[in-house]
Homo-oligomer: A and B are copies of this chain.
Amino acid sequence: MLTRIDHIGIACFDLDATVEFYRATYGFEVFHSEVNEEQGVREAMLKINGTSDGGASYLQLLEPTREDSAVGKWLAKNGEGVHHIAFGTADVDADAAAVRDKGVRVLYDEPRRGSMDSRITFLHPKDCHGVLTELVTAAGSHVQDPQDH
């Protein structure tokens, strides 16, 4: 079950300048930053608020590390802006399977590593009314199904 807006992914040309914009304009600070070579992005997570499921909502600022990454190609076509939205769940495997059963294309066979050691997958934007949609389970928050016990 999806229980929060986990983050809004924003593609930018210059991560440092964009981080500085959010800091100077709104006072948002960097909570975490990393390079994800598999995704081809350098990223900064700005924590905005806690959520009622015990998680949090972030802005995720993304700068491509190579032009042929998904974010790099998207930026070249669209310019800076909102790249994707992400919903948080305690069980990304179960939710990915459930939406796949409903006919929504899931882009990965198995969830991959996302920010802060989360596990993530993406849904095809053409199956989601134009919105590239990520499902994410934060590290340490996976809740096993009762039948696992």
Report A23-51 residues with CB < 8 Å from chain B CB.
24-28, 48-51
A8 touches B8 (CB 8 A): yes
Q: Shortest distance in angstroms between A40's beta carbon and chain B's nearest beta carbon?
A: 19
Contacts A10-B131, A87-B26, A129-B18; A49 near B5 (Cβ below 8 A): yes
- Indicate the size class of the contact surface on chain A: 35 or more
> A128 an interface residue at 8 Å Cβ cutoff?
yes
Tell which of A51, A52, A130 has the most Cβ of chain B within 10 Å.
Answer: A130
Copies of this chain, count: 2
Question: Digit string of A91-123 for contact with B (CB within 8 Å is 1, else 0)?
Answer: 000000001001010000000000000000000
Contacts A8-B8, A27-B1, A57-B4; A130 near B80 (Cβ below 8 A): yes
Q: Complex formed: what's the CA distance from A1 to B48 in Å?
A: 11
User: Mind listing 13 A-B residue pairs with CB under 8 Å?
Assistant: A1-B27, A2-B28, A2-B48, A3-B48, A5-B49, A8-B8, A25-B128, A26-B99, A48-B87, A51-B51, A51-B57, A57-B57, A81-B129
